[in-house]
Amino acid sequence: MTDAQPASDTPQRGTALRLHRALARIWGSDPRLRGWLTTSNNNDIGTLFLIVATTFFVIGGILALLIRAQLATPDSAFMQPQVYNQIFTMHGTVMMFLFAIPFFEAMSVLLLPGMLGTRDMAFPRLGAYGLWVYIFGGSAVIIAMLMGLAPDGGWFMYPPLSSAAFSPGIGADVWLLGITSIEVSAIATAIEVIVTVLRYRAAGMSLSRMPIFAWYILVVSVMILTAFPPMILGSLLLEVERALDWPFFQVENGGDPLLWQHLFWLFGHPEVYIIFLPAAGMIATILPVMARTNLLGYGWVVAAAVSLAVLSFGLWVHHMFTTGIPHMGLAFFSAASTLVAVPTSVMLFSWIGTLWKGRARMELPMLWIMGFFATFVIGGLTGVMLAVVPFNWQVHDTHFVVAHLHYVLIGGYVFPMVAAIYYFMPLLTGRTRFFKLGEVAFWLVVPSFHITFLAVHMAGLLGQRRRTWTYDADQGWTALNLVASVASYVMAIGFALIILDVAVNAFVAVRGRRNPWGAGTLEWAAAIPSPAYGFASIPIVRGRYPLHDDPDLAVRTARGEGYLGTATRHRRENLIVTTARGTPAQVVVLPGNSALPFLLAVVTSTSFLAPLFDAYIVAGLALMGVVALALIWAWGLGTRVDEGLVDAGNGAMLPLASERTDPPGWWGSVFLLLADGVHFGSLLFGYAFLWTVAPNWPPQSYLEPPLWAVVLALTCALALALGPRLAVRAIAKRGVVWPAIVLGLVGALALTVAAASVMLDRPDPASHAYDATLWLLAGHVGLHTFLSAIMLCYLAARVAAGYASPTRIGEAEIVRLWADFTAATALVALAAAWLPGAFS
């Protein structure tokens, strides 16, 4: 029997090897240098994301050391005030925008397909586009700093300090435009993550069987879509005020600087939880493996993550307790700020209970998690202290707040992410750690961190203000600052050792075995390091820990015994499942490698950065390039023939996603429109805030709506919504499409005319914040009608070219979705512009 066993396995091994080679040819990237510019594979994109984010972390750390060098001694002449202001502004900017969020996005892109049992992310080219926009935007901010053009008003950019009057030059503009482009990148990645988690999973992986990290990252991605748009709007308002003198934040002309604070912290406080929750997801993933048991209270942890996300949007005002908020508001937001301790405690007790029921092994990832526990609890307690209004008034804008922020973000985010890097290193590199610098780094970083920021806490309690470049020797802060500065350099040495340790072990250490930790989740079922195609076939799972439930699953998957276990159609195929139950539903054909994402990122970044040099013509041409490349990108998708049902393996015959009414592009549009809707809602919030709170309101006169414009808007919004519906019906019945397209175009054009009437009636948006806001409302309508018109023309061309049929109707459904959104928001925007004048 022992002699016969290898012979019986030989045909299966040969078949599996041929399958792997065929899939590698189909899914692989160009091995030449230009392959990095054309790749869309999640392994390549995630690796680049990770390297760039780590580079920005190093830059941010160097800036932090410069700050501590300046504050180490009183009356220091190490830096002049202007340089110091730029350094602390850029430190916060780099760490919050260029490192924290992109780093966990990189880990998500790298790990999610494996965890979910799928071959790639939902929109590989969109992921590549987001990467390059992030690189270009972040590089512009860093280059500006090296040229001495960095902003100096703090990473929160409060007006009027950041206005043109008090921050001349292009430093603030670099921040506003560069960071906005980075937020566009984050939104692109968030959409890709959401659709991947909801639709691209292993067969049988219902929502209740998803890995816990997938739940965390799904919640976080939805938060990005709802938290980033207010910040994008605020950046737009401030940049327009600086460039065109539209007075959104000028009190004398009806504006209010507090509007910026509301918009910024509507983003800024949820961002704290956007950063923390992925780290919590890593802890919930790693801790049970280190404890050799399953996660305690899976459902409760999911509910706590969702609750924390919801609560985070009701806390932003606790950053503004000293701005004159009414007492009722202070009480509400103080109570809400303390309430977040409840879902956070649920997570902590789940993790403690998991340790209690298991047998923990103190491997290096577990050491970093223990460092997290010791640090994050302190940060949480000081957060509760800051939620108490009288105490907040005493320590607001002191170094106590600085220390609290670092306890939460370094202890609550960086420590778990270091644990994740060491935990997943065998999966990402295929190597077992040989050099043991990680343990030395741990004992350097964690104690020195506590020494640094406990001293900073004490200095804050003694009254040291944040954002001040020096202090006098007789103020009693000298010893504390010296201790904090020395310990910070020790901590920096520790982090440098971590980077060195990871780099050396990634390239020099010996090859390791698959799944060295004995984990039960699917990412350890693939070959290590993960090949370009991820899985030779899509696994079939029947539990939350598939590798524990079926130890042979990895072998059978590698042999092609799951879904899509052949490469005979010579294209990048992936499986789409039903959202709730994980039942196989569709086969999607993913696009191959292309330079389009890189080129689109170039012209997108040009459109953002050209206004820095008053090159508005170049910016306009770049926007035209964005539209042209986006159309070329979309045109290359789809097919001219109906394939019908295709063999997906395991006896399943499934339709192609392109022959369904809800293809992946439809799902992506839904979530992009969610972000768009939040942006529009933020604009309405700003309008209402100025109306009710800002001085010098109401304006001298209101816009009086002309009857013809009201009638035109109502009838043509209906035409815009009706046109795509009739087009969908005509395509389904193989009828004539162009009358429906013309009807939609007429509706879009007429809505544009109605919006233009608002601008013509108030021709000077620089005269009052009311007029400027009306121009923004009208601009929202004009932009979306323009996009709808392009989509309608594109649909007409696709129908004429044979890309649409009664089964291939998904593109028409996407156009219909956008037209409905445009019509609805146009009516709301025009109503907001016209109703005050109609009732005045």
pLDDT single digits (tens) 376-387: 999 989 988 998
User: So what's the pLDDT on residue 436?
Assistant: 82
User: So what's the pLDDT on residue 17?
Assistant: 87
Residue 610: in which H helix or E strand, if any? none
Ordered alpha helix ranges (H), 693-735: 707-732
Q: Looking at 17-21, 277-281, 405-409, 498-502, which range is the least confident one?
A: 17-21
User: So what's the pLDDT on residue 10?
Assistant: 53
What's the pLDDT band for 3 if we cut at 50, 70, 90? Answer: very low
- pLDDT, average across residues 295-317: 94
Per-residue pLDDT of 509-539, as tens digits, reads 778 788 899 999 999 998 888 899 999 999 9
Q: Which residue type occupies 211? A: P
User: So what's the pLDDT on residue 11?
Assistant: 52
Please answer whether residues 821 and 677 qualify as being in contact, where contact means their C-beta atoms are separated by less than 8 angstroms.
Answer: yes
Q: What share of the chain is helix, strand, coil (3-state, %, to 5)?
A: 70, 5, 25
Distance of alpha carbon 267 from alpha carbon 176, whole angstroms: 14
DSSP state of 532: T
Per-residue pLDDT of 259-273, as tens digits, reads 999 999 999 999 999
Per-residue pLDDT of 776-814, as tens digits, reads 999 999 999 999 999 999 999 999 999 999 999 999 999
Helix, coil or strand: residue 553 = helix
Per-residue pLDDT of 579-618, as tens digits, reads 999 999 999 999 999 999 999 999 999 999 999 888 999 9
pLDDT at 181 > cutoff 60: yes
Pairing of strands 652-655, 572-577: unpaired
Q: What is the dihedral of CA 53, 58, 64, 68, to 10 degrees?
A: 160
DSSP state of 251: G
**Residue 840 vs residue 574, higher pLDDT:** 574
- pLDDT, average across residues 537-556: 94
Least Cα distance to 71 among 481, 684, 486 occurs for 481
Burial of 389 (0-12, 13-18, 19+ CB in 10 A): middle
**Residue 277 vs residue 2, higher pLDDT:** 277
What's the pLDDT band for 12 if we cut at 50, 70, 90? Answer: low
Per-residue pLDDT of 634-687, as tens digits, reads 999 989 999 999 999 999 999 999 999 999 999 999 999 999 999 999 999 999
Please answer whether residues 793 and 738 qualify as being in contact, where contact means their C-beta atoms are separated by less than 8 angstroms.
Answer: no
pLDDT at 112 > cutoff 50: yes
Please answer whether residues 283 and 369 qualify as being in contact, where contact means their C-beta atoms are separated by less than 8 angstroms.
Answer: yes
User: So what's the pLDDT on residue 182?
Assistant: 92
What's the pLDDT band for 276 if we cut at 50, 70, 90? Answer: very high
- 43 CB-near residues (< 8 Å, 6+ apart): 110, 529, 530, 532
User: So what's the pLDDT on residue 13?
Assistant: 61
User: So what's the pLDDT on residue 543?
Assistant: 94
User: So what's the pLDDT on residue 258?
Assistant: 95
Distance of alpha carbon 462 from alpha carbon 458, whole angstroms: 6
User: So what's the pLDDT on residue 379?
Assistant: 92
Residue 648: in which H helix or E strand, if any? strand 645-649
- 320 CB-near residues (< 8 Å, 6+ apart): 258, 261, 262, 265
User: So what's the pLDDT on residue 8?
Assistant: 45
CA angle 91–48–607, rounded 5-degree value: 70
Distance of alpha carbon 637 from alpha carbon 803, whole angstroms: 9
pLDDT at 1 > cutoff 80: no
User: So what's the pLDDT on residue 33?
Assistant: 86
CA angle 241–242–243, rounded 5-degree value: 95
pTM of the model: 0.95
